[in-house]
A and B are shown apart, each in its own frame.
Chain A
Amino acid sequence: MRIFGHKPTITAWIGIVIVAGFLVIGIFAPWIAPYPEDRTFDDVGSYAPPSATMWLGTDQIGRDLLSRVIYGARTTIGIAFLTTVLSFAIGIVTGLWAVVGGKIVDQILSRLVDVMLSIPLLIFALIVLSLFGSLFQSVIGSLTVLICVIAVLDSTRVFRLSRSVAMNIVVLEYVEAARLRGEGTWWIIRREILPNALPPMISEFGLRFCFNFLFVAALSFLGLGVQPPLADWGGMVKENAKALGVGGMAPLWPAAAIALMTIGVNLIVDWILSINARPSGASAEM
């Protein structure tokens, strides 16, 4: 089988199967999960060991862990995906704007991004999230804040890439030709620059997704991301951490799901990178 005209390697297939599996689980969660995500089983109690009816046992307040992991796929992957899409939208628009908008715009945007990149993202996110505390009282509010904050911070890296890619394209003859034909700036961006800038951005999308995915998980783990009633993998690790002390393995399952998903995406990205023949090894950078 060929995808985009290329034959995936064995490792790429493993990645595709993992990612596709998680996507299916996430999308069809209500039909796959044996129990609702918020149903507590008082008769079973908390941190019950795995059994025939509950394959992974129960969590800290007696909810079925497997169902929570299945619903968590939806929340965690969904949020990371939305964040990455938003981050690319912001990053590409500002990146291209910096290239075609003239020297002053470029200088202002680039210096701002330089300063933003000199603070570790997690630290920056912590500072900003501490300010939006009052919005965390509703589920929708907290998710919106979370997605927007991570997307804006992450878009600085997309900005860097799209700017440098577009810089190399603007000087090419066909862009010059379009300009001499009297085409408008917007037309040139849409018809000449964007289609040629996209291929290198595809593998970057995978890498940024991995990063955002781990980032959302880490924030939720710290108790500052997705808020409790929703099932999400990072938060579940935190909630169930005490199970380790009594010999349970509850926090390891959602954490393993995060690791497996990231490995899957990384394997696909490695394959795409090897097609584009870019030096590998720098994958999944911070």
Chain B
Amino acid sequence: MSDPHAITREIDRSHMQVSDEVAIQITSMNKWYGAFHVLRDINMTVNRGERIVICGPSGSGKSTLIRCINRLEEHQSGHIIVDGTELTNDLKNIDKVRSEVGMVFQHFNLFPHLTILENCTLAPIWVRKVPRKEAEETAMHYLSKVKIPEQAHKYPGQLSGGQQQRVAIARSLCMRPRIMLFDEPTSALDPEMIKEVLDTMIELAEEGMTMLCVTHEMGFAQAVANRVIFMDQGQIVEQNEPKEFFNNPQSDRTKLFLSQILGH
């Protein structure tokens, strides 16, 4: 297996316990784009502390699935319950879920007109109503954690891609979310920047954060995930522990996919 970003470091699993408490519950969820059936009968349960990697070919609906969890996309049937709050058309519920769930995007989506520090303090100040000074302290704490406190007063345009993505992670963490969603966080990065972002994500996992990652970084999946979900054509085709998933795939579609991404 040749993975350019094989995780070589020792991983501290002491905090990585999965509790019985349910964080996300999705039951028979369907979504259409017009007449196109993008997500078909999705059922999944995520317990608190779980680290789940979702993979699959492009167009398989994996991004759409995690975007449904904080209602960036609307589902048309079935139920999504996040932290005990069901996502419906009720705007209050949606805002509540969104403030508990952090999200990191493929293209970072930092706010270019605000400094790094302002990017990190904006939501705590306006959504959580945290006093500015406290919000800035929290922001500096998380910026140190992602190892770029010295960039706090620059603008996003002055940072490299990897640094921007780490700021995006810090920005989400400043809201002290209970669940983190990652939507292909390393796909838009140069190879040498991928590692710094993955390291940040691993640290987050080591602290016991509940994480759902759409990613093709199989090294990360093997090192950190406790479950890998494989999707194709809008459906969950296979899910298993990483070791089993990679060494003993069950369905033909999974075998084909794994041979394609790991075989070269």
Task: Determine if chain A interacts with chain B.
Answer: no
Chain A positions near chain B (C-beta within 8 angstroms): none
